[in-house]
Structure 1
């Protein structure tokens, strides 16, 4: 069970009653521009929160002051497990952009990864066109390690052809995290 705190936020497992807050931002097309999947309706969000409440891979990010879920973080160990590498990703409600919440929540999850899970390395991928995302990763003092050309696709053309996108890869090592936080 995940139960992390930062100055203004709680980062915890999803609960089934988070569906309305999740729908609040996953129903906005612009939020999903760089993500797989379509705009979600209420039923989709109810199913998603049910599924996410049963694992630690997705964490709800909640304002401490009013218990409003304002986003979520993906945090999952990659294979091979013995390499002790996790991947982080995030989606936040645009109504809360510009307040530092994504940075604060992501920093707390990195701390959890390095200090509690004993991660060796944490990585993140983002679309180069998503400047807000890669700027966040740089605020977290993650290094850009690569620029992958036509790395993946989330959508296809009407003819069924993949619409490939590029990706930046960022990473931070445990010793870098420790040095940056001394």
Structure 2
């Protein structure tokens, strides 16, 4: 993907040296409150970055001034390709949350998708309890299109039963 520059940020494909900054936040238990998985090790962080360097679905978000990677965006093209639809997601280092960086990065990526990729629609999903995420989606102009009951689960109870969670569905059309 083309590198995107905003007033405060640089959005680009991952490079191998991103592993340290990625590990800084993906090793924190609180990151996984609304995400699958759990804290990852140094070796897992290195392997994950190596994998992400070979694709466009995950993009690094760096502060322009310092060069520090403070989070990442997920941007996946939905099949079939002729629908021209992408799904947006994001995870940011807690030390850099509530500064507008996620909103700035997400808005820039959505703008790029509509202008350069000729996207028809951008979608996103988040847990209704994840207020920060759905507020970002609404700030960038996405519309809540639905509330899915017990859409999925990331965890199980001690007996192995799924702990289902709801999801809000968001969307934005090209000319909206």
Match of 2:71 in 1: 71
Q: Which residue of 2 aligns with 1:163?
A: 163
Shift of 1:160: 1.9
Q: Any gaps of 5 or more consecutive residues in structure 1?
A: 177-182
Measure how far apart 1:112 and its partner are. 1.0
- How far 1:49 sits from its partner (Å)? 0.4
* Distance in structure 2 (CA, Å) of the matches to 1:163 and 1:79: 28
Cα RMSD over matched residues? 0.8
Q: 1:151 maps to which residue?
A: 151
1:34 aligns to 2:34 (yes or no):
yes
Give the deviation of 1:157 after TM superposition: 2.1
Q: Any conservation in 2 of the 1:3–1:13 contact (CA below 8 Å)?
A: yes
Q: Which residue does the alignment assign to 2:51?
A: 51
Q: Contact 1:2 / 1:59 at 8 angstroms: preserved in 2?
A: no
- Give how far 1:158 is off: 2.7
SS of residue in 2 equivalent to 1:175: coil
| Structure 1 residue 82: Cα displacement | 1.0
Shift of residue 159, structure 1, vs aligned partner:
2.1
Distance 1:59 1:25 in 2: 15
What do the CA deviations read for 1:34-64 (whole angstroms, capped 9, x no partner)?
A: 0111111111110110000000000000000
1:84 aligns with 2:84: yes
Distance 2:158 2:39 in 1: 18
Residue 118 of structure 1 deviates from its aligned partner by 0.4
User: How many residue pairs were aligned?
Assistant: 176
Distance 1:160 1:81 in 2: 37
* Superposition TM-score, scaled by structure 2 size: 0.98
Cα distance in 2, alignment partners of residues 174 and 95 from structure 1:
33
Is the CA contact 1:2–1:56 (under 8 Å) kept in the aligned structure 2?
A: no
What is residue 4 of structure 1 aligned with on the other side? 4
The 1-side partners of 2:116 and 2:110 are apart by 10
For normalisation by structure 1, the TM-score amounts to: 0.94
Q: Residue in 2 aligned with 1:99?
A: 99
Gaps of 5+ in 2: none
CA distance in structure 1 between the aligned counterparts of 2:131 and 2:99, rounded to whole angstroms = 16
**Which segment drifts farther, 49-58 or 1-10?**
1-10
Deviations 1:99-123 (A, max 9, x none): 1100000001001110010000000
